[in-house]
Amino acid sequence: MFAHSDAAAGGTPALAQRVVPVKMVVAGGFGVGKTTFVSTLSEVEPLTTEASMTSVAAGVDNRGDVGTKTTTTVAMDFGRLTVDETLVCYLFGTPGQDRFGFMWDDLANGALGGIVLVDTRRFDDCFPAVDYFEHRNLPFAVALNAFDGQVAHEPAQVRAALNLSDDTPVVVCDARQTSSAKTVMLALLEVVLARAMAKRGG
């Protein structure tokens, strides 16, 4: 039932050039600056899409029937950075609340890495994200947003408190400023690059 056009002639977009997609996940507590960070780095106004998920609370009730399913709808925003004609990077902000953790797999699957934004006055809010990235063995950077113009805890303190691995960067950041968001991204990409080079070497 499909009319065949001139695909064989090589003139179609698909055959012209394939665009390779990569992505980064921007995580952290509610109101910590995820959307701001994404929009600072994105070349377009961040887009929003509704992610509707049926979560199965497996094993909780020991029944395993449909009664344990719940559907949740969350808005997810993301930005785009076109590198060149064949490479594009997406920045996905996680819906902040930890109860949406079940949908992070969708975001983190195949991601280059993660950025955990931290408001040092509400330090605990970052724990689920840090736990998650460590659990996935996904490289990540921790960015401390200075909401009152300064951070309540210095990077070294945060590193110790979170018991971060040596190769996880901790940087002070203002998510509203391009230069600052860039620094965070590059710190993360250095780790991503080091891992890729180590894999290639070994």
Ligand X SMILES: Nc1nc2c(ncn2[C@@H]2O[C@H](COP(=O)(O)OP(=O)(O)O)[C@@H](O)[C@H]2O)c(=O)[nH]1
Binding residues for ligand X (CB under 6 A): 28, 30-36, 93, 96, 145-147, 174-176
Please say which residue, 23 or 34, places its beta carbon nearer to ligand X.
Answer: 34
Least distance in angstroms from the C-beta of 145 to ligand X: 4
| 139-178 residues near another protein, rule: CB under 8 A | 162-163, 165, 178
Considering the rule CB under 8 A, would residue 182 count as an interface residue with another protein? yes
116 sits near another protein (criterion: CB under 8 A)? no
Q: If residue 140 lies in a helix (H) or strand (E), which one and from where to where?
A: strand 140-145
The DSSP code for 60 is T
Q: What are phi and psi of 150, to 5 degrees?
A: -150, 160
Give, as ranges, the residues between 18 and 37 that touch Mg ion (CB under 5 A): 34-35
Distance from first CA to last CA of the chain, Å, rounded? 50
Crossing angle for the helix pair 178-201 and 34-41, nearest 10 degrees? 80
Residue 54 within binding range of another protein, rule CB under 8 A: yes
Distance CA 17, CA 66 (A): 45
| Nearest to 41, CA basis, from 168, 183, 147, 151 | 183
Which of the listed partners (ligand X, another protein, Mg ion, none) does 176 bind, with a CB threshold of 5 to 8 Å by partner kind? ligand X
Answer whether 90's CB lies under 8 Å from 23's CB.
yes
Tokens 């344990």 belong to which residue? 68
| Among residues 26, 38, 41, 117, the one that binds another protein under rule CB under 8 A | 41
**Which among 185, 186, 188, 153 has a CA at the least distance from the CA of 169?**
188
* Residue 107 in the binding site for another protein (CB under 8 A): yes
Q: Which stretch binds another protein (CB under 8 A): 19-27, 31-39, 140-148, 149-157?
A: 19-27
Closest separation in Å from C-beta 36 to ligand X: 3
- Pick from Mg ion, ligand X, another protein, none: which does 88 bind, CB < 5 to 8 A by kind? another protein
Binding residues vs Mg ion (CB under 5 A):
34-35
